[in-house]
Amino acid sequence: MHASACESLLPYLKPGSRVLDIGSGSGYLTHVLAELVKPGGTVIGVEHIQPLVDIGTTNTRKSQEGRELMDNGGIKYVKADGRLGYPEGAPYDAIHVGAAAADFHQQLIDQLRAPGRLFIPVEEAYMQHIYVIDKNEDGTVTRKKEYGVQYVPLTDAPKE
């Protein structure tokens, strides 16, 4: 799935691009995306549970390349509700969502640059499908249903 997401987002991953990775988990895809947008690009990894933010940070810092990307601002991990995106870093050239959304979250589409692309699994009648949502240069939005998948749901953080 990581390769498929990268392939879909690749036209929007250029040096200097801004990328949002919702459900960044281990940090693996976040780091891959950061390599594709350097030099000068930024990838923000979002998790809704602090221990997951810590795991991504720890894993990324295991390599010299990862440490350099984190130290120079190429990668940043934050704790936030991914369903709301991360407006502080918007607009984004590309947004990847790594958990199944219950709906097409307008906040994410609003945070896309024009042109920009959103890669998101969406729940539909007990099934999930990848959607590629493009915001064109004139601001118009198109949705394309790609293929069936099975992701964990995009949810609230657990009650502490």
Could you report the per-residue pLDDT of 94-123, keeping only the tens digit for each? 999 999 898 888 999 999 999 999 999 999
User: What are the structural domain ranges in the chain?
Assistant: 2-148
Structural class in CATH, domain 2-148 = alpha beta
pLDDT band at 157 (very low <50, low <70, confident <90, very high): low
**Residue 122 confidence (pLDDT):** 95
Q: Where are the beta strands (DSSP E) in the chain?
A: 18-22, 42-47, 75-79, 92-97, 112-124, 127-135, 141-148
Q: What is the pLDDT of residue 158?
A: 65
Whether residue 136 has pLDDT greater than 70: yes
Q: What is the pLDDT of residue 160?
A: 63
Looking at residue 155, its pLDDT comes to 78
Q: 117, 80, 110: which is closest to 96 by C-alpha?
A: 117
Query: pTM (2 decimals)?
Result: 0.95
